[in-house]
Structure 1
Amino acid sequence: MAGFLQEFKNFAIKGNMIDMAVGIIIGTAFNNVVNTLVKKIVMPPLSLLTNGVNLANKKHILRKATDTSEEIAIGYGELLEVLIDFTVIAFTIFVVIKFMNRFKKKAEDPKNKEVETPKNIELLSNIERLMAEQNSLLGKRLGKK
């Protein structure tokens, strides 16, 4: 039990738990933005293109409502809206990750002076350069060119 508590403490202290919490909070806020974007920006023009049809209300009725039973229907319109939400979210995440990867690639290139190179990449680059110099000197000593 003490090992489990120590492991949880290490997890929380290293920031993983805080990073996850921040990610969840931002994800929730982002979901609200996308929902509003789809419902208030994307769907009204789409509704105009479809002669004022509200997708959320589209359904395939399996059994009409009677005095004794409720209507049974497949609500495919809501599914279409959720798929549009998903597409917007997926595309936005793709663009953000693409931008971050481009920035990361620039940051990991020690020759690129536009972006500050992380210390670990800089150290590895210096080690690589020093090893090349050492190999060159050893080659000259042994009579190789």
Structure 2
Amino acid sequence: MGFLSEFKAFAVRGNVIDLAVGLVIGTAFGKIVSSLVADIISPPLGLLIGGVDFSGLSVTLRQAVGDTPAVTLNYGLFIQTVISFVIVAFAIFLVVRAINALKRKEAEAPSAPPAPSVQETLLTEIRDALRERNAQERG
């Protein structure tokens, strides 16, 4: 099998297509979650904690000299990123939890029993005919 035909077989395989669709939907879902966190969850949370912003916290490792900028260790940005991650992770957890609860309710809903197969129908008719015949012979 040549390189191009092998690549074609790989690229059009269902798993790769599913992965691509999942990636596109995941990216769009990431934007929704980011908006949820930035526009819905963070403002009230910011009010609760008094608008604390850690992004300005840093330690200067070397002062600026002339045109050379200062070298800083921006640990505040790291703390802010960790806090944002925890908020996003918690929001995703709540969404996944709600989806799983809906799936669980759907799975618990009683479903109609499957229709009997042709064989089951025929066997039921034979059984009923034998019962009727036995009843006629006795009575």
TM-score by length of 2: 0.59
CA distance in 2, matches of 1:108, 1:39: 35
CA distance in 2, matches of 1:105, 1:32: 28
Larger Rg belongs to: 2
1:38, 1:85 within 8 Å by CA — same for their partners in 2?
A: no
CA distance in 2, matches of 1:34, 1:63: 36
Deviation at 1:90, TM superposition (A): 0.7
Which residue in the other structure is 2:8 paired with?
Answer: 5
**Alignment CA distance shift 1:72-1:85 (3 Å):** same
Which residue in the other structure is 1:137 paired with?
Answer: none
Cα RMSD over matched residues?
3.4
**Alignment CA distance shift 1:58-1:37 (3 Å):** farther
Deviation at 1:101, TM superposition (A): 1.6
Deviations 1:89-140 (A, max 9, x none): 110111111112222222223xx24xxx6x9xx76xx9xxxxxxxxxxxxxx
- What amino acid is aligned across from residue 73 of structure 1 in structure 2? T
- What amino acid is aligned across from residue 84 of structure 2 in structure 1? D
- What amino acid is aligned across from residue 88 of structure 2 in structure 1? I
Paired residues for 1:123-134 under 5 Å:
none
TM-score by length of 1: 0.57
Structure 2 SS opposite 1:73: strand
- What amino acid is aligned across from residue 28 of structure 1 in structure 2? K
Identity among equivalent positions (%) equals 18
Which residue in the other structure is 1:18 paired with?
Answer: 21
2:33, 2:91 within 8 Å by CA — same for their partners in 1?
A: no
**Alignment CA distance shift 1:47-1:60 (3 Å):** farther
Paired residues for 1:1-145 under 5 Å:
1-11=4-14, 15-36=18-39, 41-43=44-46, 46-48=49-51, 54-67=53-66, 69-109=68-108, 112-113=109-110
- What amino acid is aligned across from residue 100 of structure 1 in structure 2? I
Structure 1 SS opposite 2:60: strand
Deviation at 1:7, TM superposition (A): 3.6
Deviations 1:73-100 (A, max 9, x none): 1111111111111011110111111112
Structure of higher RCO (CA pairs closer than 8 Å, 6+ residues apart): 2
Bigger drift between 89-98 and 64-73 goes to: 64-73
